Structure 1
Amino acid sequence: MVRTDRVSRIIAAPQAAVYDALLRREALEAWLPPDGMRGRVERWDPRPGGGFRMVLTYLDPTGGPGKSSAGEDVVDVGFGELVRPRRVTQQAVFESDDPAYAGTMTMTWDLVPVRTGTEVTVTATDVPPGIDQAVHEAGIASSLANLASYVEARP
């Protein structure tokens, strides 16, 4: 069964500023890792058909096993649709020997201007069954909170 996880947040920043933060390497490293993790981008090609590889390291690896190793999640992300300033679509594949994390998850970032800024909705489809839905949605919400802090702090 195909699973879809979805999280939204209104960010007090213009749509273009949010879009730019989705496509800048240093921005992604700053805001994408959810609470309890840090991230490092190893490869960067921000265009349709390009992508990036991110290593997410658990600050406390005893809290739960990583997907790629005890303390890390490694994900290869391909950029699909890039519609400035409205949408970014990504295909994410986790590096893992565990078949519960196999497959390609599609992440769609929809950015809609609203009176107070931009409503960002992240929709994840084909989520691997090894990823707990509540934990995944909490992680996306944490990343969105980080994104809000990142773009709202910039002029």
Structure 2
Amino acid sequence: MSTIAETRIEADPNVPIIRIVREFAGTPEQLFRAHTDPELFARWIGPSSLRTRIEEWDARSGGSWRFVSSRDGEEYAFRGCFHEVRPDRIVQTFTYEGDPDGVALETLWFEDLGNGRTRLRTQSLVDSFEGRDAWLRSGMEVGVNEGYTKLEEMLADGTA
């Protein structure tokens, strides 16, 4: 029997924050590795229609990252810095290079639910409600849902 996990994406009404919550059939260690191992990360991040290549990846406190996603000859580059990397939490910046002023501060929490399940909570703080709402209109929901579905599949087949 297969179950489809539900991803909750919420916009805070008082602060320009997007919160995402999803439960996975995987341990916190597996989810952490999927977010810090560049080969694994490139396999699941974003919509299924995009291919991602990692150009820089130093997943440690003080490290930085950059990846480029492409489709039909178009490229979309993203970059940021890892401010804190530890097994239960990652704090990083996130910037789409097409909007270099739109820097988000992201925090990811890996919450052990027991029985090999983990709740992933993500919070992205942007500098304005307009910026937040532009992210929400950008199609990010498709990328988040399709990416997390790929991650769930990787957890199920043991590659993550």
Gaps of 5+ in 1: 62-70
TM-score normalised to the size of structure 2? 0.76
Q: How far apart in 2 are the matches of 1:41 and 1:88?
A: 18
Q: How far apart in 2 are the matches of 1:139 and 1:32?
A: 8
Equivalent in the alignment of 1:65: none
Q: CA RMSD in A?
A: 2.3
* Paired residues of 1:5 and 1:137 also in contact (CA < 8 A): no
Equivalent in the alignment of 2:33: 20
Which secondary structure does the structure 2 equivalent of 1:48 belong to? coil
Q: How far apart in 2 are the matches of 1:121 and 1:109?
A: 6
Q: How far apart in 2 are the matches of 1:2 and 1:103?
A: 16
After the TM superposition, which of the residue ranges 39-48 and 128-137 deviates more from structure 2? 128-137
Task: Give 1:25's aligned amino acid.
Answer: P
Is 1:119 the equivalent of 2:119?
yes
1:47 to 60, 64, 69: 60
Equivalent in the alignment of 1:66: none
Q: How far apart in 2 are the matches of 1:20 and 1:153?
A: 15
Structure with the larger RCO, 1 or 2 (CA within 8 Å, 6+ apart) = 1
For these two proteins, the number of residue pairs brought into alignment is: 141
Q: How far apart in 2 are the matches of 1:38 and 1:131?
A: 23
TM-score normalised to the size of structure 1? 0.78
Equivalent in the alignment of 1:108: 107
* Paired residues of 1:48 and 1:79 also in contact (CA < 8 A): yes
2:97 to 95, 98, 103: 95
Task: Give 1:35's aligned amino acid.
Answer: S
Gaps of 5+ in 2: 1-13
CA distance 1:125–1:141, change in 2 (3 Å): farther
* Deviation for aligned residue 1:152: 2.5
Q: How far apart in 2 are the matches of 1:4 and 1:93?
A: 15
Equivalent in the alignment of 1:138: 142
* Paired residues of 2:110 and 2:118 also in contact (CA < 8 A): yes
Task: Give 1:95's aligned amino acid.
Answer: E
* Deviation for aligned residue 1:34: 2.1
* Paired residues of 1:107 and 1:122 also in contact (CA < 8 A): yes
